[in-house]
Amino acid sequence: GAVVSQHPSWVICKSGTSVKIECRSLDFQATTMFWYRQFPKQSLMLMATSNEGSKATYEQGVEKDKFLINHASLTLSTLTVTSAHPEDSSFYICSAAPDRNSPLHFGNGTRLTVT
Amino acid sequence: EDQVTQSPEALRLQEGESSSLNCSYTVSGLRGLFWYRQDPGKGPEFLFTLYSAGEEKEKERLKATLTKKESFLHITAPKPEDSATYLCAVQAWDGNEKLTFGTGTRLTIIP
């Protein structure tokens, strides 16, 4: 149980375009989902907390107008990287838990490459 | 601010050679300490949650322990398939479920 699915697993886009990443909880409902970013050989850094039916909460230093988060249902959160630049190239991973007493489960990540 | 430090950064072991990975942490109030395994190009896979000092959890060749300042992940008689990056994370009692991660230990088991 507690499966989190992420799509796409990899994407290549041109500088200046936008990319949408989907995160779904397959066998549970999640009022909260977390978006992380991971650079090579570095740890996971929390970008934002996605809240169903309300605005996302962004970590300090993360541009909310660049990384748009929409949590429209209890099983789906999306991250849109707008006007992507090469420095946005990274590994983006989402996570969610069935309830507050369960561990977070992670999707398999999305490798974004901006050319 | 919550902090997690893992050591060593990388560890190479011969198959069957037991060892331990360290995770030192500072957190305002520990709600839980988590161990995850991450394979290249994949998301982290949950291994253990520890809640209080003295607690131990085991799964196959892995055993996790917790004190008030650090956690250890002991690996006994490892196999090549245990090769991965092992991540430690803490969750605080601040009303938020978010995890603060360490940078991980990259473990390589040589056949």
8 Å CB contact of A109 and B42: yes
**3-class secondary-structure state, position A88:** helix
Q: How confident is the model at residue B61 (pLDDT cuts 50, 70, 90)?
A: very high
The number of residues in chain A equals 115
A113 close to B (CB below 8 A):
no
Report chain B residues whose CB lies below 8 A from the CB of A101.
Answer: none
User: Do A38 and A44 touch, CB atoms closer than 8 A?
Assistant: yes
pLDDT per residue as tens digits for the range A11-24: 999 999 999 999 99
> Is the pLDDT at A1 greater than 80, yes or no?
no
User: Do A53 and A103 touch, CB atoms closer than 8 A?
Assistant: no
Query: How much is the pLDDT for B98?
Result: 84
Q: How confident is the model at residue A27 (pLDDT cuts 50, 70, 90)?
A: very high
> Is the pLDDT at B95 greater than 70, yes or no?
no
Q: Name the residue among B44, B46, B41, B37 with its Cα closest to residue B81.
A: B37
Query: How much is the pLDDT for B1?
Result: 84
pLDDT per residue as tens digits for the range A33-75: 999 999 888 889 999 999 988 899 999 999 999 999 999 899 9
The number of residues in chain B equals 111
Those residues of chain B whose CB sits closer than 8 Å to some CB in chain A are 32, 34, 36, 41-46, 49, 87, 96-104, 106
The minimal CB distance from A106 to the residues B44, B96, B100 is found for B44
φ/ψ (deg, to 5) at B82: -80, -5
pLDDT per residue as tens digits for the range A80-113: 999 999 999 999 999 999 988 889 999 999 999 9
User: Do B53 and B68 touch, CB atoms closer than 8 A?
Assistant: yes
d(CA B7, CA B20): 9
A4 close to B (CB below 8 A):
yes
A104 close to B (CB below 8 A):
yes
d(CA B100, CA B45): 15
